[in-house]
Amino acid sequence: MAYVIGDNCIACGTCMSVCPVDAISEGDIYKIDPDTCISCGSCAQVCPNDAITEG
C-alpha cells in the first residue's frame, strides 16, 4: 500500500482528488487508509512533493 511521508506532505490535496477508492483523508498531513488502499500508485504519481511512497 501507499504511505504518506509526513515531512514531505504539504497537504495540497492533489492525491485525494485522484484516488479511485477514496482511501485518502485530510488532516495536517494526508493519511491513507491501509484497508481501503488498492495500491494503484495514482497518488504517488501526482504528488508534487514526492510525499507518497509504496511499500
Q: Which residues bind ligand SF4 (CB under 6 A)?
A: 2, 18-19, 21, 23-24, 32, 37-43
Closest to ligand SF4 by CB, 7 or 52:
52
**Smallest distance, ligand SF4 to C-beta of residue 20, A:** 6
**Smallest distance, ligand SF4 to C-beta of residue 42, A:** 4
The residue with cell 491501509 is 34
Kindly calculate the radius of gyration of the chain based on its CA atoms and give it in whole angstroms: 9
Q: For residue 49, which of 30, 26, 33 has the smallest C-alpha distance? A: 30
**Smallest distance, ligand SF4 to C-beta of residue 7, A:** 18
d(CA 8, CA 33): 18
